Structures are given as structure tokens and as C-alpha cells.
Amino acid sequence: MKSILNYIDGQFVRGKREFPDINPADGSVIAEVSEADQFLVDEAVNSARKALRGPWWRLSVRERAQRLYRVADEIEARFDCFVAAEVADTGKPIALASRLDVPRAAANFRVFADLIKSAAIESFQTETPDGKSALNYAIRKPLGVVGVIVPWNLPLLLLTWKVAPALACGNTVVVKPSEETPGTATLLAEAIKAADIPGGVYNVVHGFGPSSAGEFLTRHPDVNAVTFTGESQTGANIMRAVAPTLKPVSFELGGKNAAIVFADCDFEETVSGVAESVFLNTGQVCLCTERLYIERPIFDRFVEAVKQNAETLKLGSPLERTTDLGPLISQSHREKVLSYYKLARDEGATLVTGGGVPRFDNPLDQGFYIQPTVYVGLPETARSVKEEIFGPVCHLTPFDSEDEAIAMANDTKYGLAASIWTSNLKRGHRVAQEMNVGITWVNCWFLRDLRTPFGGVGLSGIGREGGKHSLDFYSELNNVCIRL
Ligand code: NAD
Ligand code: 6OH
């Protein structure tokens, strides 16, 4: 049986206990994962602290950027291994991992290498009380040891989205991947090593959240900052854990994202764009749409078109190129999503399509597949319209006016993303500016420029990453004032 190990101080390290890594497509055990106990987390943090002041610290920005470009090259050199590991761990279709997850991992390193090379520093010429002047300029310094905690839905993409800017700014990191998807974090250690990044700069500890590696890392007094992507409730737990040591946090959390579809939209493009935003990655993307608001004149036609789209999606083996939807991540997550399917029915929803578990009559029946599901008819107050489900499911509500659509879309404690579909661009801009979210897309969804601010409001997060926002989080500014 394959073992997935921790990576500490440039070495692959075995812990005292192991836990199984399950393939969600058929329930089989792929590997035994070595769990890091408190001792190994301490070792990882100590090695990161030592590396901070070691050769990593002494590299010029240009040399550091060169290493990050090399990591991107090394990821591409191992492209098939990364895709295979991500597909085995998550059950996502091989086509999706090949076009989204692994290319984005390489892009994350390249973008932040570019950005750190061209990062400007702030400066002010200041008048002094005696009529002379002083020059102020702010220099960037690393935060120190950064704890990186990430979820299972886009494991490598989200990990590298945080590790790349953290390293670009001269920090060292200890990463705790999700217990569901440990594979690519350890594979990345091989790419990092091959890129000649010194031992201790990138460390991986495997394990769980509470009373395990996640909590040991966030509570650790020698960790200087925590960057986390995951559920809002976990964010709250981490906030409590870091409070005694006042660590800065960057949180990318859950969402209950809305799409607003106006009758003047390009109908075919909108149906396929909105359906992708509901079903991509079996609905397990924080940005996925779970609430659809459709202008009344096209409501019935739109519901029918989304139904058709859902019914033509091919559920199947992640290894087949033509598969559209893989399984959910785990048995327990499928139980959670199914409990929301039941709740929606109990709350009075009309089922348009789906609502259950598919049958394959082959080993995929041991996997955690679920039907893409569409509901209508719920009041806006229903729990299944208010709470994040994180599966391939949406609810459609008709609206009569722009103001009504905006009010319903904004009536949530979350605030991650929204999409607006209209051929009236003036309206697109106007409605976009009313959205209480961190990211609004008009006539598109999940179209990313990595230099733009990314994050959420309310329960969807704290802070922004992306472009200079990442550089700002992952560095401390030291303002130097010189009397001239
Ligand atoms: P999760 O919060 O359960 O777990 C995320 C990570 O946190 C895992 O590595 C887990 O082991 C760790 N963890 C759990 N409890 C912890 C604790 N007390 N201390 C330290 N670490 C702890 O999330 P998940 O189920 O893996 O992912 C799905 C969630 O992530 C959804 O809510 C989704 O919306 C959200 N998400 C948000 C974004 C975003 O950018 N906003 C991106 C992806 C996923
Ligand atoms: C959440 O599941 C998706 C997050 C995406 C990003 O963080 C990104 O940078 O595209």
C-alpha cells in the first residue's frame, strides 16, 4: 500500500499513526497517510523558523522568484502525476483536473514570482515642522512562519494559491492539507525540492482539524500568521485558537452564491454558464451558485433548460475523459447533501430533477455519487435556500423587478460571489455595484485574473488575496522615516 508522508526540513517523515486515504469514486483505500502528532508539528514549525533565517532569507528577490518559476516548471514536468493524485483523492473528472487544478497550480507560482519582482514600495516626502523635509518609505518584510490550512475541493489549486505568495514574500510555510485529499501536498514537496528550495521552507503535516495537526498548527506560538480556506464555522474555531497569540488571519470561507438572470440575457449562453456554475466539480466549489433568480417572463423556459442541462450531464468514472460529474468527496458529505435534499422536500420544494443517488451496477455504486438536483417553489426563508449545501444543487425563484432581485440575492449572511446575466451592460454595472459580495461576474463565472482581489464579506471571509492583496497579507511593512 502506498504511503503519503509528512515533509519536514527537506525530508519525508513518517508519524506514529496512519489513516486511510479513500477514493470517493469507489470507496477503495488508495494510500495510508502518516499523521503528524504534536511532536511532528513542533518539528515542522521549528524547521520553518530555522529556514526563515537561513539561505531562504539571504536570497535576493530575483533569485527567490527564479526558484518559484522552477517550481512551476517542476509541476508541469510531473503534470500526469499531479492529475492522477488529484483525481484519485477527489474523484473529480480527469478532464477538469487537467484543465483547471494542475495548470492553476503552476500559474499561481508564476504569477506571484512576476508580482514580487515588480512590487512597488510606498514613499512620501514629508514636510518637517522646521520647514525642512523627511523621506518616508515602507519596506516589505516576511511575516515569518505561515500556517496554511486548506480544504478538499480544489486541494492543489487552493494550497498553491497561498503557498506561492507566502514564499514570494520570503516567508516559510507549514501546510496542513485536508485529511480527505493529502496526495498533492506531498507531491508538491518533490517539485519544491527539485526546484532547489532549501529544506524547512515548505513543510507538510498531515492530519485532522480539532485535537490534531490543524489545531496544533493554529495554536502554535511560533506560527506568525494563519491563512485558511474552508467552512465558515471552522474559520470561527481557528479564530478562537489564534486569539491568545494575536496571529493575523486571512480567511476564504463558504458561500450561498446567487445568479441573477434577466430576460434580455443571451439565453443559450446563460443556461450553459449558469449550469456550469451550479454543477462544476459536483457543486463543490465555494463560488458555485446555489440560488438562481430568474426574471419572470423567462422563468419556466429557464427552469426547463436547466433541467435538460442537468439530465444530460454524464456521471461516471473520473478516469473517463467524457465524464462531467464525479462523486462527492465522502460518504459523510453525501449524507449531508442528501439531508438537504430531504429538507428541501420537507420545506415544500417542487423537485424538477434529481434528488437522489444514481445506480451504475458496477463498482462506482460503492462511490459517493449523487444526482444533480434542481428545485423550485421554496420561500426565501427556507433553510435550504439560506444554508450552504456544497453539492450539485440549486433552487430557482422568479422575480419581477431589478430591486426585488437585488434584495433577494443580498439577503444572506454569506457574501462570496454573484453572477449577473444580461445583455444590457448598463444594468450589468448597476446591479454589480449593489451586490454585497467580494466577487461579481457579469455574463461569466469563475473567470479569474490572479491579480484581482479575491475574498468574501460576512460569513464568506476576512481579507482579500490575489495580486498585491496577497503580497500585503504575506508581508509586514516597516516604514523608514529619514530626516533629510
Ligand atoms: P473544513 O473547514 O471542514 O476543512 C478545511 C480544513 O480545515 C481541513 O484541512 C481541516 O482538516 C481543517 N480544520 C478543520 N477544523 C480545524 C480546526 N479546528 N483547526 C484547524 N484546522 C481545522 O472545510 P472543507 O469541508 O474541507 O471544505 C469545504 C468548505 O470550504 C466549504 O464551506 C466551502 O465553501 C469552503 N471553501 C471556501 C473557499 C473560498 O475561497 N472562499 C474555497 C474553497 C472552499
Ligand atoms: C473555492 O472553492 C474556489 C476558490 C478559488 C480560488 O481561490 C481562486 O483563486 O480561483
Looking at the predicted structure, is the pLDDT value of residue 58 above 90?
Answer: no
Ligand 2, residues at Cβ distance < 6 Å: 153-154, 158, 161, 285-287, 448, 454
- For residue 213, the CA-to-ligand 1 centroid distance in Å is 14
pLDDT in tens, 410-454: 999 999 999 999 999 999 999 999 999 999 999 999 999 999 999
At 285 the pLDDT is 98
pLDDT in tens, 320-351: 999 999 999 999 999 999 999 999 999 999 99
| pLDDT number for residue 186 | 98
In the chain, % of residues over pLDDT 90: 99
- In this structure, are residues 168 and 471 in contact, taking their beta carbons and an 8 Å threshold? yes
What's the CA-to-centroid distance between 287 and ligand 2, angstroms?
Answer: 7
Residues with CB under 6 A from ligand 1: 149-153, 158, 176, 178-179, 208-210, 214-215, 218, 229-231, 234, 237-238, 252-255, 286, 388, 390, 416, 456, 460-461
Of all protein residues, the one whose alpha carbon is nearest to atom 42 of ligand 1 is 286
Write the pLDDT tens digit of every residue in 381-403.
999 999 999 999 999 999 999 99
Using the predicted structure, report yes or no on whether residue 81 has a pLDDT greater than 90: yes
Reported as a pLDDT band with limits 50, 70 and 90, residue 57 is confident
pLDDT digits (tens, 9 = 90+) for 240-296: 999 999 999 999 999 999 999 999 999 999 999 999 999 999 999 999 999 999 999
Q: Point out the ligand 2 atom lying closest to the alpha carbon of residue 285.
A: 2
Q: What spacing in Å lies between the alpha carbon of 281 and ligand 1's midpoint? A: 16
Point out the residues that are catalytic. 252, 286
Residue range 204-235, pLDDT digits in tens:
999 999 999 999 999 999 999 999 999 999 99
Protein residue with least CA distance to atom 7, ligand 2: 158
Compute, in angstroms, the gap from residue 184 CA to the centroid of ligand 2: 16
At which residue does the C-alpha cell 476576512 appear? 462
Nearest CA to ligand 2 atom 10: 448
Which atom of ligand 1 is closest in space to residue 254's alpha carbon?
Answer: 34
